């Protein structure tokens, strides 16, 4: 990776770290306030509505994905004319998607209150759908084109600066409104208004920095891959939203609230993971355009190693701490059972496989190989939906997550085989060895953490004890993973440490 790419990736990681901390804190605070003020039923409804709205908003990813592939080329060649034409075409297409979203919002607001099992009146839920929908619309569809431009240029840290400010403001205003006993509709309306600030600032920054030609003729050929990208997005819509959709349709909304609380941990892990992987697709895209195959191969090896180190350390901590976290977080909320150790383990294993696919997914997207992998995307969605709909009626949360786990294992394997066969020729046993090594690390770490706790006798009855145990778990799992790396992956560890050294000295 060239130094310019490394520096940009470093900026992205630093700023994104702060952003993810802010988002994670907000995601902990607001649901807790909603649970205590309005109860599990309202929390489940709000979470379910948001998930249903995200179903249509994910269509934007299709266009953004196709745009990024072309922007890697124009930005790499410093072709401002081509960049302007691509951005113009993307803006026009995004307006069409925005109109589709508004139509979907209107239909959902009418139908959704009739779908769910709730004690609240139709108009109460109808108004909540409309208000939350306006917030999602403001957050996702204003400025998404320019966000894509910054992502492709490895300058996503600019966007994240803006998001940090709006997220903090939204959290403060929402908490104040809740404490003043305003209806949940007013709270969400305040959020919708706040999230219109971000795209306005983003538009001003891009207009000043990139000097784009506003009158450029749209280059629709730049979005020639959008159908294939959208196909991936549609499949991803089904895959990502199957759990909440089926739980909403076949279970009480309080069960959706349980899913949402556990998903706080999963979302936190995703945010932490994306903090360290931010900008990698753009970096791989730059390597692919410049045909730096050897560099891609070595970078992929280090990336795989880092992900397994991340899973070894962070998921060891999560497995040990998730149930104490849920117990503390849902204290004094007694309208549904939240303590489900078996479900916690299953959910974390599912998320681990989502992390494992990251390097192969990024290289596939960076190379623009959407058409070649779209059938796998649809099969992933089919597996998830079919298995989940069969099992959710019998075992609820567990059934939905088993479907997701099977689909994640399949898709991770499919991406891995595709990359190794078509993009970077490598031995097929690499991933299997890494998975076995990761499982070994986690097993040893959990045993060591439990042994230390049996000596210290920390009962985790308050948040301070949870934090102390979290620090100890992190230290222990880190030591175990480093020692294991010295035994099995000494060269990878050395290469990874060299990258960290380059970042720290900023050479």
Cα dihedral sign for 127, 128, 132, 133?
negative
The CA-based angle 235-237-238, given to 5 degrees, is: 70
What pLDDT score does 321 carry?
92
Give me the mean pLDDT over the 357-385 stretch.
79
Q: Tens of pLDDT along 397-424?
A: 898 889 889 988 988 888 888 888 877 7
Distance CA 280, CA 295 (A): 13
Which range among 94-103, 135-144, 409-418, 451-460 shows the weakest confidence by mean pLDDT?
135-144
**Residues 482-495, mean pLDDT to the nearest whole number:** 88
Sign of CA dihedral 446, 451, 456, 460: positive
Q: What confidence tier does 12 reach under pLDDT thresholds 50, 70, 90?
A: confident
Query: At residue 71, does pLDDT exceed 80?
Result: no
Asked if pLDDT for residue 492 goes beyond 60, the answer is yes
What per-residue confidence (pLDDT) applies to 232? 65
Mean of pLDDT values over 76-99: 78
Distance CA 496, CA 374 (A): 32
> With pLDDT > 90 as the criterion, what percentage of the chain qualifies?
16
The proportion of the chain whose per-residue pLDDT surpasses 70, expressed as a percent, equals: 83
Q: Which is higher by pLDDT, 78 or 284?
A: 78
Task: Report whether pLDDT(194) > 90.
Answer: no
- 16 conformational bin, left if phi > 0, alpha if psi -120 to 50, beta if neither: alpha
Whether residue 382 has pLDDT greater than 50: yes
Dist. CA 299–CA 296, nearest whole Å: 5
| Band of pLDDT at residue 57, cut at 50, 70 and 90 | low
Tell me what the mean pLDDT of segment 149-166 comes to. Answer: 82
Residue 186 above 80 pLDDT? Answer: yes
Minimum mean pLDDT range among 197-206, 290-299, 376-385: 290-299
Spatial contact of 88 and 218, defined as CB atoms under 8 Å apart: yes
Residue 61: predicted pLDDT:
58
Q: What share of the chain is helix, strand, coil (3-state, %, to 5)?
A: 85, 0, 15
Structure tokens at 494: 């050395």
Q: Residue 277: which pLDDT band, with cuts at 50, 70 and 90?
A: low
Provide the pLDDT confidence category of residue 62 given band limits of 50, 70 and 90.
Answer: low
Comparing C-alpha atoms, which of 384, 346, 369 is closest to residue 415? 369
Q: Mean of the pLDDT values across residues 466-472?
A: 91
What is the average pLDDT score of the chain? Answer: 80
Collapsing DSSP to helix, strand or coil, 33 comes out as helix
Average pLDDT over residues 179-196: 86
Please report which confidence band the pLDDT of residue 344 belongs to, taking 50, 70 and 90 as the band edges.
very high
**Cβ-based neighbours of 427, under 8 Å, separated by 6 or more:** 420
Residues 145 and 68: beta-carbon distance below 8 Å: no
Residue 3 pLDDT exceeds 50 = no
What lies within 8 Å, CB to CB, of 153 at 6+ separation is: 71, 75, 282
385 in Cβ contact with 242 (< 8 Å): yes
Exposed e or buried b per residue across 378-394, where buried means at least 16 C-beta atoms within 10 angstroms of its C-beta: eebbebbbebbbebbee
- pLDDT mean over 270-278: 72
Q: How far apart are CA 331 and CA 375, in angstroms?
A: 45
CA distances from 146 to 13, 77, 206, 207, 335 (A): 20, 19, 7, 9, 44
Residue 222 has pLDDT above 60, yes or no: no
- How far apart, in whole angstroms, are the C-alpha atoms of residue 239 and residue 505? 42
pLDDT of residue 1: 42
Contact (CB, 8 A) for 366 and 65: no
Q: With beta carbons less than 8 A apart as the criterion, state whether 115 and 250 touch.
A: no
Both tokens of 242, joined, read 């199957």
CA 476/CA 449 separation, integer angstroms? 7
Q: Hey, how many other C-beta atoms are within 10 angstroms of the C-beta on 58?
A: 18
Could you give the CA distance from residue 371 to residue 1 in angstroms, rounded to a whole number? 27
Under the banding of pLDDT at 50, 70 and 90, the label for residue 356 is: confident
CA gap 489, 445 in Å, rounded: 18
Lowest mean pLDDT among 141-155, 300-314, 341-355: 141-155
Q: Phi and psi dihedrals of 218, rounded to 5?
A: -60, 130
Q: Over range 347-366, report the average pLDDT.
A: 84
- Give the model's confidence band at 471: pLDDT under 50 very low, under 70 low, under 90 confident, else very high: very high
Mean pLDDT of 30-41: 82
Tokens, residue 131: 């208000």
């Amino acid at each position: 990776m060239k130094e310019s790419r490394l520096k940009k990736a470093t900026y992205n990681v630093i700023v994104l770290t702060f952003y993810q901390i802010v988002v994670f804190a907000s995601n902990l605070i607001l649901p807790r306030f909603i649970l205590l003020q309005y109860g599990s039923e309202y929390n489940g409804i709000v979470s379910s509505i948001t998930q249903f709205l995200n179903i249509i908003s994910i269509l934007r990813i299709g266009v953004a994905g196709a745009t990024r592939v072309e922007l890697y080329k124009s930005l790499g060649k410093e072709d401002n004319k081509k960049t302007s034409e691509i951005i113009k075409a993307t803006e026009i297409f995004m307006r069409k998607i925005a109109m589709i979203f508004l139509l979907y919002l209107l239909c959902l607001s009418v139908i959704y209150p009739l779908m769910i099992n709730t004690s609240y009146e139709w108009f109460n839920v109808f108004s909540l759908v409309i208000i939350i929908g306006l917030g999602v619309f403001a957050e996702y569809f204003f400025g998404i084109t320019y966000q894509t431009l910054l992502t492709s240029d490895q300058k996503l840290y600019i966007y994240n600066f803006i998001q940090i400010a709006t997220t903090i403001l939204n959290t403060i205003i929402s908490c104040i409104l809740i404490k003043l006993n305003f209806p949940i509709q007013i709270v969400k309306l305040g959020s919708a208004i706040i999230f219109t600030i971000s795209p306005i600032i983003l538009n001003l920054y891009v207009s000043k920095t990139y000097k784009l030609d506003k009158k450029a003729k749209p280059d629709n050929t730049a979005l020639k891959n959008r159908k294939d990208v959208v196909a991936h997005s549609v499949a991803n819509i089904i895959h990502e939203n199957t759990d909440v959709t089926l739980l909403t349709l076949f279970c009480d909304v309080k069960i959706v609230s349980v899913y949402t609380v556990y998903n706080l941990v999963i979302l936190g892990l995703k945010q932490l993971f994306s903090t360290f992987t931010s900008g990698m697709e753009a970096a791989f895209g730059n390597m692919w355009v410049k045909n730096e195959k050897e560099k891609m191969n070595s970078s992929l090896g280090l990336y795989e190693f880092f992900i397994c180190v991340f899973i070894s350390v962070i998921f060891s901590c999560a497995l040990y701490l998730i149930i104490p976290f849920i117990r503390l977080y849902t204290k004094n909320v007694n309208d549904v059972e939240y303590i489900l150790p078996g479900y916690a383990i299953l959910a974390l294993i599912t998320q681990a496989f989502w992390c494992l696919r990251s390097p192969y997914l990024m290289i596939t997207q960076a190379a623009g190989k959407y058409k070649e992998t779209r059938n796998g995307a649809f099969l992933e969605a089919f597996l998830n939906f079919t298995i989940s709909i069969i099992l959710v009626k019998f075992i609820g949360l567990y059934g939905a997550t088993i479907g997701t786990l099977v689909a994640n294992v399949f898709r991770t394997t499919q991406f891995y085989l595709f990359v190794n066969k078509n993009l970077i020729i490598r031995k097929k046993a690499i991933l299997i060895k890494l998975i076995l090594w990761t499982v070994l690390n986690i097993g040893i770490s959990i045993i060591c953490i439990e042994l230390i706790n049996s000596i210290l006798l920390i009962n985790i009855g308050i948040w301070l004890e949870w934090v102390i145990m979290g620090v100890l778990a992190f230290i222990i799992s880190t030591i175990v993973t480093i020692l294991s790396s010295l035994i099995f992956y000494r060269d990878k560890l050395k290469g990874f440490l060299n990258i960290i050294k380059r970042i720290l000295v900023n050479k």
